[in-house]
Each structure stands twice: as structure tokens, then as C-alpha cells.
Amino acid sequence: MVKRTSTRFIARMIEGAKPSEMPGFIPPQLATLKLRAPAGDKWIHEIKFDGYRIQVHLYKGKVKIFTRNGHDWANRFHLLAESFDIPVERAIFDGAVVVIKDGRANFSELWLHSPAANRGAWCSSLRPSLP
């Protein structure tokens, strides 16, 4: 196990930062279907991976992996949960779990190699969020 850095210690080093309690599940903002993407310099676009939307919560060495509906699937995604032994006291990552086949995300393969089946190659696209 790696040595964890106290989030409260780090917060004291950032001007104006205030320590807070670790939140529980945060309902994700989901995409809205539109006829075309917005244009202009104020928009940033990203590729949407075809996979399971998840939220990983790290808190004092424990890992929870929430589905977009708030179910904890850490035991189903145990290999992914085990990979989050990182040196932080708490963090939240929001992203997608996908299976890559022939260089592309493949939802059929993800479904076939579901965590319940305990097989398959898992890849994740996760962005950190600040709790």
C-alpha cells in the first residue's frame, strides 16, 4: 500500500480552500441529444466512449465504484477497484469503462465481458473531480 497524502494538509496550502466532508454519490450530468453540436470558441468537445458510465470514489484507502444510477459496483469491477491504490486520501473520478477492440470502443464486447463474468480486458477513461 502506498503512503497517502492528507487532503486537509493540501487544502491548507491553497489560498481560499476549505476542507469539506467527502460527498456520497453525485448524480452525473448526462448528455442531451441534439441535431448538431454547438459551434464557437466557447465550446469544448470530446469523444464519447461507448461504455459504462462510472464514478470512482477514493476515501481513506477504500474504493467505491458507482454506476450512473448510484449502485456501488466495486465488487463487480474488483480489478479496476484494485488499480486505484494511489497516494491520496480522497478523490472522485468520473468517466467510462470501455472495452477496446480493433482500436475502437466496443459496447458489445463490454457486455459480453461484463464484470460479473470476471473476464475481458478493461480500459477506463476517467477524469478527476475535486470533492
Question: Which letter does DSSP use for residue 123 in this model?
Answer: E
Give the active site residues. Answer: 48
Q: What is the CA radius of gyration of the chain?
A: 17
Q: How far apart are CA 100 and CA 26, in angstroms?
A: 27
**Cβ neighbourhood burial of 88 (10 Å; 0-12, 13-18, 19+):** middle
Q: How far apart are CA 91 and CA 130, in angstroms?
A: 6
